[in-house]
Amino acid sequence: MVSPVTVVKSEGPKLVPFFKATCVYFVLWLPSSSPSWVSALIKCLPIFCLWLFLLAHGLGFLQTHPSATRIFVGLVFSALGDAFLIWQDQGYFVHGMLMFAVTHMLYASAFGMRPLALRTGVVMGVLSGLCYALLYPGLSGAFTYLVGVYVALISFMGWRAVAGLRLVGAAWRWTELAAGGGALLFMISDLTIGLNKFRFPVPYSRALIMSTYYAAQMLIALSAVESQEPAADNRLSKTD
């Protein structure tokens, strides 16, 4: 097992651009009521930095770790989704949902199907059903089905991320903790978006959505790179 301190020391410097870009987003805090290519760039910049974070480990690393490659491609689709959501009031909300739906499928594939953890899946299924029930009264038209499918996809991704968590014993690994924490934060971020759009105004919704979203993406990206040795990284080899 690689200790969290070792991970922070080795990977922390590569994440400095991400933290700076995130600070830029929150400091500028460009009004969402005036969408522009500049605001889209500022919003996507932290995700671009996570691309660079993974690329900093070398193209060979991505080529020999298919799971890390899937996470990288998921980050590409995430940036596209972020850009579309800048213009969500102009009719691009569904486009953003589609991009993030692809992201969740890629992340779920990266996390793999072992261990299966059926009980965790049942719990996640119940929670996703409750979330959909909470959103359902505010849904109409195509959103009734689209949101249902999206909730199912992000919940499946969350199940696969949390399934590998081992908090005690020799099986404890930083990668699983980062993946599970990132997935749960992603679900909180998207649930806040759904509540704010379809049910009722959520206080400080934008700050809550973006802080949990950026943290989620960082943790998911970090979960791919604990070890650069393919033979030593059992997590990444599960879906090879």
Give the Cα separation of 175 and 165 in Å (integer): 9
Give the dihedral sign, CA 147/151/152/156: positive
Residue 17 lies inside a defined structural domain of this protein: yes
What range does the domain containing 160 cover? 4-224
Which parts of 136-230 fold into alpha helices (H)?
143-162, 174-194, 205-222
Residue 239 lies inside a defined structural domain of this protein: no
State the residue for tokens 């990444």. 236
Give the Cα separation of 173 and 188 in Å (integer): 23
Residue 233 lies inside a defined structural domain of this protein: no
Q: How far is CA 227 from CA 4, 11, 111, in A?
A: 12, 10, 15
* pLDDT for residue 173: 75
For the beta carbon of residue 35, count every other beta carbon within 10 angstroms: 19
DSSP helix/strand/coil, 90? helix
Residue 235 lies inside a defined structural domain of this protein: no
- Provide the domain count of the chain: 1
Residue 234 lies inside a defined structural domain of this protein: no
Residue 60 lies inside a defined structural domain of this protein: yes
Residue 230 lies inside a defined structural domain of this protein: no
* pLDDT for residue 171: 56
| The two three-digit tokens of residue 201, written as one number | 């105004």
pTM for the whole structure: 0.91
Residue among 8, 22, 9, 7 at smallest CA distance from 216: 22
Residue among 126, 200, 130 at smallest CA distance from 159: 126
* pLDDT for residue 231: 36
> Which DSSP string do the residues of 19-49 spell out, in sequence order?
HHHHHHHHHH---TTS--HHHHHHHHHHHHH
Give the Cα separation of 93 and 82 in Å (integer): 10
Are 164 and 179 in contact by the 8 Å Cβ rule? The answer is yes
pLDDT by residue, tens only, the chain of 240 residues: 566 667 778 888 999 999 999 999 999 999 988 999 999 999 999 999 999 999 999 889 999 999 999 999 999 999 999 999 999 999 999 999 999 999 999 999 999 998 999 999 999 999 999 999 999 999 999 999 999 999 999 999 999 999 988 766 655 677 888 999 999 999 999 999 999 999 999 999 999 999 999 999 999 999 998 643 333 344 444 444
Residue 229 lies inside a defined structural domain of this protein: no
